[in-house]
Amino acid sequence: MRIAVLGGDGFCGWPVALHLSRHGHDVTVVDSLVRRRTDDELGVESLTPVRPLPERLAAWWEVTGLVVRHVRLDLAREPERLAALLAAERPEAVVHLAEQRAAPYSMRDAAHKRYTVDTNVNATHNLLAALVEVGLDAHVVHLGTMGVYGYETAAVDLPEGYLHVSYPDRTGASIERDVLYPTRPGSVYHLTKSLDQLLFQFYAQNDGLRITDLHQGIVWGTQTPETRLDPRLVNRFDYDGDYGTVLNRFLVQAALGLPLTVHGTGGQTRAFINLEDTVRCVRLAVESGDAVVGGRVRIMNQVAETLRVRDLAAMLHRLLGAEVAHVPNPRAEAAENELEVRTDQLRDLGLEPILLEERLLEESLETARRYAGRVDPARVPATACWNAERRAAAAPAEAGR
């Protein structure tokens, strides 16, 4: 299949591009390389030494004999070039990961909120509008997030995108409908993924676009069988307070002998998935595109298991003797929540997820230890704060400075 991977230089995008290529697909990476510039802005580097994209692609060809092309393009800001590219290449599937993906980064200040909304909403909308303009029936597979559901405890196993509701009409007869599950985003980043859902619903209904939205949990792990083939193919590994996700941050902290920064009580329950399963799920979604029809977006929960943050920390304490520090939570989120998630669709397609207990020490920790010398400890603390109580408490001190 001809596949365009939008955002194919990023943490999930790069291993997705290689995995699809290795499975016989003809892959073009479309990426503005902005993630590398964001590192410069934040004064941080991936824990792993990530090579420039041309070198990565040359190494892929050298090692496998497979060609992956790159088109440098900013989806959110170059809609005409995007439409021209789609018209020329006519991909059969478009994997869309070209969005600003960090919640803390999106909450740093008003400029970062605007940047995240401008980038994410325009990228998605420009893609959908271009597909209609070009008249291209490409299956769109979007990497969304579990965070659109929010983290309120609900006494249900979270359904896959839709809530079945029934309510009485004027005569008292029952109306049955599937509606998008009500969103409750916890950051501007998660808000943009909620807005994406409405864009998808509109274009599926109005223009018959075929769309799969993957509601993915927090990714852990760094490498996949493809990125392990050569050191030049290594994937990025973020540990900083903006882009580092919780378990990868804890692993780096453990490797450096730093205390694990558990936010608040650590009672937050979240959904997790290993990176190897991420790439497999995206391929399963792409390859099952014939089952997706216009009119209704296929939404699948891309999750292996749910775990509580403090249990993750306790596991690392048990296995590695890591010290646990409960720090004031910089985020506005429920201190404790329950979370159970339905994942029937990807399991029916063949997903047999890797669980944390099985694999934790093998790869991620080894990566964290091997590159521990590259860590800048000053970049480990989370600095973006959107917890109203903490901001109010900090305000007098800041004003006095």
* Residues binding ligand USQ (CB under 6 A): 101-103, 145-147, 217-218, 245-246, 249, 261-263, 266, 268, 270-271, 309, 329, 331, 333, 382
d(CA 147, CA 270): 9
- State the minimum distance, in angstroms, from the CB of residue 359 to ligand USQ: 18
Q: Which of 236, 228, 328, 311 is closest to 272 using CA atoms?
A: 311
Pick between residue 288 and residue 387 the one whose CB is nearest to ligand USQ. 387
Taking a C-beta distance cutoff of 8 angstroms, is the pair 23, 224 a contact?
no
Closest approach, Cβ 3 to ligand USQ, in A, equals 21
Measure the CA–CA gap between 215 and 299, rounded to whole angstroms: 7
Compute the 3-state secondary structure of the chain and give helix, strand, coil in percent, each to the nearest 5.
Answer: 45, 20, 35
Q: Could you give the CA distance from residue 195 to residue 118 in angstroms, rounded to a whole number?
A: 12
- Give the active site residue among 115, 116, 192, 193: 193
Alpha carbon distances (Å) from 80 to 75, 76, 83, 129, 136: 9, 10, 5, 10, 15
Closest to ligand USQ by CB, 145 or 201 = 145
Q: What's the min distance (Å) between Cβ of 363 and ligand USQ? A: 18
Catalytic residue chosen out of the listed positions 119, 124, 145, 367: 145
The single-letter code of the amino acid at 255 is A
Determine the angle formed by the axes of helices 309-320 and 246-256, rounding to 10 degrees.
30
Nearer to ligand USQ, 25 or 113 (CB): 113
DSSP 300-330: EEE-SEEEEHHHHHHHHHHHH---EEEEPP-
Given the residues 149, 189, 203, 243, the one annotated as active site: 189
CA angle 183, 184, 187 (to 5 degrees): 120
Distance CA 336, CA 326 (A): 14
Which residue number, 233 or 254, has a Cβ lying nearer to ligand USQ? Answer: 254
Judge whether 32 and 361 are in contact, CB under 8 Å: no
Please state the closest distance from residue 144 (CB atom) to ligand USQ, in A. 8
Given a contact cutoff of 8 angstroms between Cβ atoms, the answer to whether 8 and 97 are in contact is yes
Gyration radius of the chain over CA positions: 21
Residues present in the chain in total: 401
Nearer to ligand USQ, 58 or 325 (CB): 325
Closer residue to ligand USQ in complex, CB, 234/339: 339
Smallest distance from ligand USQ to CB 222, Å = 14
Cβ pair 15, 278 in contact under 8 A: yes
Nearer to ligand USQ (CB atom), residue 286 or residue 303: 303
Closest residue to ligand USQ, judged by C-beta, is 147
Q: Tell the smallest beta-carbon distance from residue 85 to ligand USQ (Å).
A: 25
What Å distances lie between residue 43 and 36, 37, 51, 369, 377, CA to CA? 11, 10, 17, 21, 12
Has 224 been annotated as catalytic?
A: no
Closest distance of CB 344 from ligand USQ, Å: 18
User: Annotated catalytic, 145?
Assistant: yes
* Catalytically active residues, by annotation: 145, 189, 193
